[in-house]
């Protein structure tokens, strides 16, 4: 069996009362592996979880939830999930019942996450800032959402890799580089779009870009291919490779990003 390591780049850690490790100082956490194989990293203090390294998960299907107190955030997270169909959640929703607090975490910053090969699922509740997220190969799902309706992703890179992927920004985004790779991908922007470079992957599969609000500044789209779809509010556009323009399906009006 491949060993699983949940390690820390700083701080002193000893055995906790539960079946895991517990930190001292500002890194007061518990790591438990539940009977269903889910790893729960829980922070019961308002101090950030700092310099958390998660690696050596191998090719097994792994579920990790990083939960915490009402003002908890994560600083310096590195996660390498390996192969397998993995699930990683950072922060909590107000409807979650598997944590001691009903408030969301304050996100993760800075962060490097590599989900590895496989059909993976990632959920971030809180702001993802100054980080890099890589879904790698497989049909992956990624959700970035902040219940406070702030910028859900800022100054970051989101690379979905190859596969038929779904990427959802559940709030405002600013200064983000997005790469969709090969495959029939869908990306949704549910809030304001500010300074986003979106690369659709230059493949022959039809991608869909859905922008819920017509509140866009500094959007640049590259890697389009014939037939790609763009939805802005109630308007629908199709990419015309010959003209290198997005054409409104209803009235023929064009857009160039």
**Is residue 132 situated within a structural domain?**
yes
On whether the pTM is more than 0.75, the answer is yes
Q: Do the domain assignments include residue 100? A: yes
Q: Quick one: CA torsion of 212, 210, 86, 112, rounded to 10 degrees?
A: -80
Domain around 12: 5-159
- Is residue 152 domain-resident? yes
Spell out the per-residue pLDDT of the chain, length 257, in tens: 233 444 443 332 223 333 333 333 334 455 666 666 677 666 655 566 667 777 767 787 888 877 655 445 677 778 888 888 999 888 776 444 333 333 444 555 678 999 999 999 999 988 888 999 999 999 999 999 976 657 899 999 999 999 999 999 999 999 999 999 999 999 999 999 999 999 999 999 999 999 999 999 999 999 999 999 999 999 999 999 999 999 999 999 999 99
- Residue 231 covered by a domain: no
Is there a domain that residue 205 lies in? no
Q: Is residue 125 part of a domain?
A: yes
CA angle, residues 173, 197, 147, in degrees to nearest 5: 15
Say how many domains are in the chain.
1
Three state DSSP letters for 93-136? CCCCCCCCCCCCCCCECCEEEECCCCCCEEEEECCEECEEEECC
> Is 13 part of any domain?
yes
Evaluate whether residue 35 is within a structural domain.
yes
């Amino acid at each position: 069996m491949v060993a699983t390591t949940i390690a820390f780049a700083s701080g002193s850690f000893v055995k906790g009362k539960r079946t895991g490790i517990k930190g001292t100082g500002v890194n007061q956490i518990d790591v438990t592996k539940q009977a269903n194989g889910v790893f729960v990293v829980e922070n019961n203090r308002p101090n950030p979880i700092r310099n958390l390294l998660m690696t050596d998960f191998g090719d097994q299907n792994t579920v990790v939830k990083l939960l915490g107190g009402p003002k908890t955030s994560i600083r310096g997270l590195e996660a390498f999930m390996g192969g397998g169909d993995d699930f990683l959640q950072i922060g909590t929703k107000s409807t979650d019942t598997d944590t001691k607090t009903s408030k969301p975490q304050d996100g993760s910053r800075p962060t490097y996450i590599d989900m590895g090969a496989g059909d993976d699922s990632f959920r971030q509740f809180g702001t993802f800032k100054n980080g890099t997220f890589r879904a790698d190969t497989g049909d992956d799902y990624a959700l970035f959402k902040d219940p406070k309706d702030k910028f859900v992703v800022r100054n970051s890179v989101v690379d979905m890799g190859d596969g038929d992927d779904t990427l959802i920004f559940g709030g405002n985004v600013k200064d983000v580089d997005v790469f969709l790779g090969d495959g029939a991908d869908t990306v949704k922007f549910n809030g304001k779009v500010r300074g986003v470079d979106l690369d659709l992957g230059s493949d022959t599969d039809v991608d869909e870009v859905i922008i819920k609000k017509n509140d866009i500044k500094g959007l640049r789209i590259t890697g389009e291919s014939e037939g790609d779809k763009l939805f802005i509010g109630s308007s629908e556009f199709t990419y015309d490779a010959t003209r290198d323009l997005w054409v409104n399906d209803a009235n023929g009006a064009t857009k160039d990003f």
